[in-house]
Amino acid sequence: MGGGLSNGKSIGDVVLDLQDISLAFGGVRALQGVTFDVREHEIRAIIGPNGAGKSSMLNVINGVYHPQQGTVSYLGAKRHDVNTHEAAVQGIARTFQNIALFKGMSVLDNIMTGRNLRMKSGLLAQAFRLPSAEREELQHREAVEQVIDFLEIQAYRKTPVGRLPYGLQKRVDLARALAMEPKLLLLDEPMAGMNVEEKQDMCRFILDVNDQFGTTIVLIEHDMGVVMDISDRVIVLDYGRKIGDGTPEQVRGNQAVIDAYLGVSH
Task: State the residues that interact with another protein by CB under 8 A.
Answer: 7-8, 141-142, 145-146, 148-150, 152, 154-155, 157-158, 197, 200, 208, 211-212
- The C-alpha angle with vertex 9 and arms to 6 and 11, in degrees rounded to 5, equals 125
- Classify residue 103 by its DSSP letter: T
Nearer to another protein, 81 or 149 (CB): 149
Nearer to another protein, 145 or 229 (CB): 145
- Of 229, 226, 264, the C-alpha closest to 243 is 264
CB of 188 to another protein, least distance (A): 26
CB of 201 to another protein, least distance (A): 10
Cα-Cα-Cα-Cα dihedral of 251, 217, 111, 4, to 10°?
-80
CB of 249 to another protein, least distance (A): 22
* Rounded Cα–Cα distance for residues 235 and 239 (Å): 13
Nearer to another protein, 214 or 253 (CB): 214
CB of 148 to another protein, least distance (A): 7
CB of 144 to another protein, least distance (A): 9
- Classify residue 65 by its DSSP letter: S
Nearer to another protein, 66 or 163 (CB): 163
Q: What residue type is assigned to position 196 of the chain? A: V
Nearer to another protein, 7 or 265 (CB): 7
- Of 72, 23, 42, the C-alpha closest to 184 is 42
